[in-house]
């Protein structure tokens, strides 16, 4: 069981009833996390909290496997992953600037930034 926190990723092992903090020394590049989604390979997609909207994909066995930090947004609020692509709801750097990011998945199922969408009227 995992939780995204302002201090990194928190893992709870129900068998041992112990918590483990996953931080920079474990491979994360940013710790302030706003959301989490797990893909079909068990990797954790971590959305960055305000003011650093970024995406990290963390494999519990291999560590950080992908980071996308060039998005120039304030926060990723939610992530949804499908078979060939993924979407994230984001908040921009100005008030009221909300949109959707689209990522295509490569052959390994990892995200490549594709586009963003705004102005939903």
Residue entry with tokens 């302002």? 6
Which 8-state DSSP code applies to residue 93? S
Residue 11 to residue 22: CA distance in whole angstroms: 7
Return the CATH fold of 2-117. Answer: Lipocalin (2.40.128)
Cα–Cα distance measured from residue 83 to residue 76, given in angstroms and rounded to the nearest whole number: 20
When pLDDT is cut at 50, 70 and 90, the band that residue 121 belongs to is low
N-term to C-term CA, the chain: 38
Residue 119 above 90 pLDDT? no
Q: Name the residue ranges covered by the structural domains of the chain.
A: 2-117
pLDDT in tens, 2-18: 999 999 999 999 999 99
Kindly report, residue by residue over 42-63, the tens digit of the pLDDT: 999 999 999 889 999 999 999 9
């Amino acid at each position: 069981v995992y939780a995204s926190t302002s201090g990194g990723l928190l893992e709870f092992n129900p068998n041992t009833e112990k918590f483990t903090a996953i931080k920079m020394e474990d491979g994360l590049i940013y710790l302030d996390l706003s959301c989490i989604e797990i893909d079909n390979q068990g990797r954790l997609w971590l959305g960055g909290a305000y003011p650093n909207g970024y995406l990290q994909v963390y494999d519990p066995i291999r560590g950080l496997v992908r980071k996308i930090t060039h998005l120039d947004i304030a926060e990723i609020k939610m992530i949804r992953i499908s078979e060939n692509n993924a979407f994230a709801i984001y908040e921009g750097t100005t008030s009221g600037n909300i949109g959707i990011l689209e990522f295509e998945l490569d052959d390994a199922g990892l995200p490549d930034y594709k586009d963003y969408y705004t102005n939903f009227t």
